[in-house]
Chain A
Amino acid sequence: MPENQPLNQPRSKTDLFLSFTILALQGFGGVLAVVQRELVEKKRWMTREQFVEDWAVAQIMPGPNVVNLSLMIGGRYFGLTGALAGLAGMLAAPLIVVLLLAIAFGGVSDSAWAQGALRGMGAVSAGLIAAVGLKLISALRSNPMGMPVCIGLAAASFVGVGVLRWPLA
């Protein structure tokens, strides 16, 4: 992977809005996996390391994580209007889609095949999230704590949250 090439930037607020709209419309069962692939791997607006750092902040702030991320990235390049462009991109088109779905399929979501489809999509989105986690492990190589400490901390967090079910906050 060409890690050393210079990073790109969104060209304009319109670019930001459209990019986030396209991201959001691909995000079935969560947008995170799409955001990671598009912004880090395809558009190269940020490195894996920067993505992990931003995701950490987006997650500890209240509010939907990916929406927080769009606010942060938009704000960084273009200030308040950039943040609003990112936010609008993330929400506007999906909002229209979901309302149209509600009008068209209001009652369908209770039927057996729809429930089954949700079950299958849920299993896939669990896999997407796991894959993002696995990919981001390589971002820990440059961490000053060193790989063994990082892995130890990560393993302890995984056991605490995933096995012992400690609450986050």
Chain B
Amino acid sequence: MNPVLHLSSSDWLSLFNHFASLSLLAVGGAITTAPDMHRYLVDETHWLGEAQFNSSIALAQAAPGPNILFVALMGWNLGLNAGAGLGGGWVSVGLACLGVLVSMLGIMLPSSILTYTATRWAHQHRDKIGIRAFKLGMAPIVIALLLATAWLLTVSHKQPARDWPLYVLTAVTTLVVWRTKLHMLWLIGAGALLGALGWV
């Protein structure tokens, strides 16, 4: 059962502060800070149920757009809990929107301000030797990180006997996207269909 909450304004403020402090730690994507969000939202404050937490992440990954939106869904669910679920009518919807606003502003504001200021500075000094050297030196590492990410995603399925169709699907996708101009949505759709039918 999802909790029913009575949140004070200081609770909302501490929600904002928690996400804002995670914002600057989220190097490599906000998903790296998900364990700490779980500790705070589920274990400590009991503002979110376990299932709500997990489905927020799963749904944001299935939906189009940046995966950071799982934070918005957590805020949404938390607001619904504060207003007794969707049955609470417009009050619930209002609180849910407040949850989205507070959590997204918290997770986005600090990192965006830092990124914007730092990259403006770097762009204005883009001809300085140190900045050229840094970007050029990073290039092979960044490319390797992309390949390593794909590799880690693939081997996270650890049972070759059962998971080999997934490996094949990943390999075929890689080849098709690398070598052809086929629209990626076809591939995503095919993957979803094969998965839903239980073939991969």
> Contact residues of A with B, CB < 8 Å?
24-34, 37, 49, 52-53, 55-68, 71-72, 75-76, 80, 83, 87, 90-91, 93-95, 97-99, 101-103, 105-106, 109-110, 112-114, 116-137, 139-140, 143-145, 150-151, 153-158, 161-162, 168-169
Kindly specify which of B5-13, B40-48, B149-157 makes contact with the partner chain.
Answer: B149-157
Q: With A and B bound together, what is the CA distance between A21 and B83 in angstroms?
A: 31
Contact of B63 among A72, A94, A144, A169 (CB under 8 A): A94
B14 at the interface (CB under 8 A from A): no
B: contact size bracket: 35 or more
Q: How far is the CB of B85 from chain A (nearest CB, A)?
A: 10
Q: Is the CB of A120 within 8 A of B200?
A: yes
15 new A-B contacts at CB < 8 Å, known A28-B185, A56-B142, A162-B152: A27-B64, A61-B114, A61-B115, A71-B116, A75-B120, A94-B63, A118-B58, A124-B191, A125-B188, A130-B147, A131-B173, A131-B178, A133-B144, A137-B143, A140-B139
B78 at the interface (CB under 8 A from A): no
Q: Is the CB of A157 within 8 A of B177?
A: no
Contact A153-B142, Cβ < 8 Å, known A102-B73, A123-B200: no
Q: With A and B bound together, what is the CA distance between A121 and B175 in angstroms?
A: 16
Query: Which of A53, A83, A139, A140 has the most CB atoms of chain B within a 10 A radius of its CB?
Result: A53
Contact of B171 among A60, A90, A91, A127 (CB under 8 A): A127
Count of A-B contacts with CB under 8 A?
318
Q: Is the CB of A118 within 8 A of B152?
A: no
When distances are taken between beta carbons in the complex, the residues of chain B under 8 Å from A68 are 111-112, 115, 119
Q: List 14 A-B contacts (CB under 8 A).
A: A24-B64, A56-B141, A62-B26, A75-B123, A120-B194, A124-B173, A124-B190, A127-B170, A127-B172, A129-B149, A130-B146, A132-B177, A139-B139, A151-B140
When distances are taken between beta carbons in the complex, the residues of chain B under 8 Å from A57 are 119, 122, 135
Which secondary structure characterizes the binding site on chain A? helix
Contact A93-B115, Cβ < 8 Å, known A116-B198, A124-B173, A127-B169: no
When distances are taken between beta carbons in the complex, the residues of chain B under 8 Å from A150 are 139-140
Q: With A and B bound together, what is the CA distance between A125 and B114 in angstroms?
A: 29
Contact A154-B143, Cβ < 8 Å, known A26-B184, A94-B66, A118-B61: yes
